[in-house]
Every structure is written in structure tokens, then in C-alpha cells.
Amino acid sequence: MHDAITAEKAGIPAAAIMTDAFVATADALARACGMPAYPYTVISHPIAPDDDDALRRKAAEAVARCVELLTQRFSAS
């Protein structure tokens, strides 16, 4: 989250991906970085025990959402 927000502040479009177990932490970090409404992609947790098919599904969903985030301009205001 920090890296994505830092890139955005530098004018570089970025997308962050979190598992749902880290949403509260991601939201807190976005607030601490001064961008409380910063959008990001969420995938289900955990990922470690997932088989290849499950990981591919999660990755495809994350990529689709990241494309949305990267092709619309985020405004911190």
C-alpha cells in the first residue's frame, strides 16, 4: 500500500493488492499516508494453501480490478 501511494504521489499510476485479512491494515496505512480513500484490489485470504487453479482465478480477478484502477484517474481530493 505504501509503495502504491508513494508512486501515486509522484504521478505514477499504481495498484495495490491485499488479501482480505489485511484490509484494516491497508485502510489504516492509506489514512496515515494522507490518502484515506485510496482504492486497491482485495483477494481472498489465505493464498498459501490454494492450488494452481484457485491461484489463477484469484490472479485473474486481481488483474481485472487492477486494470480498472490503473485506467481511471484517482483523485485524493
Write the DSSP string, 19-72. EGGGHHHHHHHHHHTT-TT---EEE-S--TT--HHHHHHHHHHHHHHHHHHHHS
The closest alpha carbon to 70, from 16, 27, 30, belongs to 16
Domain residue spans in the chain? 2-71
pLDDT digits (tens, 9 = 90+) for 18-60: 999 999 999 999 999 999 999 999 999 999 999 999 999 999 9
Residue-level pLDDT at 74: 67
- pLDDT at residue 2 greater than cutoff 70: yes
